[in-house]
Amino acid sequence: MTGILQGRVAIVTGAGRGLGREHALELARHGAKVVVNDLGTSNEGEGLSDQPAHEVVRTIRAAGGEAVANGADVADFDAAREMVEQAIETFGGLDILVNNAGFVRDRMLVNTSEEEWDAVIRVHLKGHFAPMRHAAAYWRSESKAARTRAARIINTTSGAGLQGSIGQGTYSAAKAGIAGLTLVAAAEMGRYGVTVNAIAPSARTRMTEGPFADKMAAPESGFDVMHPGNVSPVVAWLASEDAADVTGRVVEIEGGRICVENGWAHGPAHDLGERWSAEAVGEGLRALLRQAPSPEPVYGA
């Protein structure tokens, strides 16, 4: 296999099914050597199976590529370190980390249990942090040894994290955290040759089969806007050496549409020059709100 990622080494988490599977296949198609990580859990994070990861590895190898399976829990700090070490020991280094693993437990806020909150925050937010932390340490050590790599991190946020989604408060909070983590990591890691970006995909996966089933249905003919494979070419380019000038960005992808998210930015402001009185805040804040754009509707509103 030859392409824009020829000879580069990648880890893709949650790569046994859905978006992660498509990412792993696309990276391999462009010449990357891929560590295919998947815990093999259900959509709710239950059960274990090594079969999804091994099936993707077999598919990559059958097409002439190089890949190995990994069954680490990405939110386990030590297991994430061992996953990074596996890539380095197997393929001689690491250039690309695609954080994709996750699951959902949709609940209205008033019905969300502590266990559900902890589980979703853990797999999404800590499951991004732990692999990033160990990959970043490796890239920093390489840079200090004058072996700076053209390293890339591609995280996975969501429209739910950017605009909000009714019935997905926990998931939205985790995905918003990932967007913020992406910005900080991009600012901190640039000195070591690392770019950090995030994608916000809209695609048909196990996680969208429930609340967005009608929107996600495959068409009888024509372009399948919701096929998860539509997202992966953006991931492949962001993972390439050509993308060295793009960092700290969130890119939304749906079908053939890509959109650069603006995110939080300072808007209208007024400095009173002294402490505001509570009575004056209402008039002052309403004046600023009239100048500000209206927020986008929360999904499901």
Break the chain into its structural domains and give their ranges. 9-260
Written as one letter, the residue type at 214 is D
Q: Is the pLDDT of residue 7 over 80?
A: yes
Strand pairing report for 250-254 and 257-260: antiparallel
How many of the other CB atoms lie within 10 Å of CB of 208? 19
- Please confirm, yes or no, whether 138 is among the known catalytic residues: no
- Those residues with Cβ within 8 angstroms of residue 185's Cβ, 6 or more apart along the chain or in another chain: 132, 136, 153, 194, 196
If pLDDT is split at 50, 70 and 90, which confidence band does 300 have?
Answer: confident
> How much is the average pLDDT of 42-67?
84
Please identify which of the residues 138, 158, 202, 232 carries the catalytic annotation: 158
The pLDDT assigned to 1 comes to 57
CATH match of 9-260 with 3.50.50.60? no
Q: Is the pLDDT of residue 2 over 70?
A: no
Window from 27-31, 110-114, 155-159, 200-204 with minimum mean pLDDT? 200-204
- Please confirm, yes or no, whether 175 is among the known catalytic residues: yes
pLDDT digits (tens, 9 = 90+) for 184-208: 999 999 999 999 999 999 988 665 5
Whole-angstrom Cα distance, residue 43 to residue 215?
19
- Please confirm, yes or no, whether 277 is among the known catalytic residues: no
The pLDDT assigned to 301 comes to 83
Whole-angstrom Cα distance, residue 55 to residue 277?
64
The pLDDT assigned to 251 comes to 97
Please identify which of the residues 33, 138, 175, 202 carries the catalytic annotation: 175
Taking the CA atoms of 17, 213, 224 and 231 in sequence, report the sign of the dihedral they define: negative
Whole-angstrom Cα distance, residue 151 to residue 170?
31
pTM of the model: 0.92
> How much is the average pLDDT of 149-173?
96
Query: What average pLDDT does the chain have?
Result: 93
Whole-angstrom Cα distance, residue 169 to residue 298?
11
Please identify which of the residues 126, 138, 171, 172 carries the catalytic annotation: 171
The residue ranges of DSSP E strands in the chain, in sequence order, are 9-12, 33-37, 67-70, 96-98, 151-156, 194-202, 250-254, 257-260
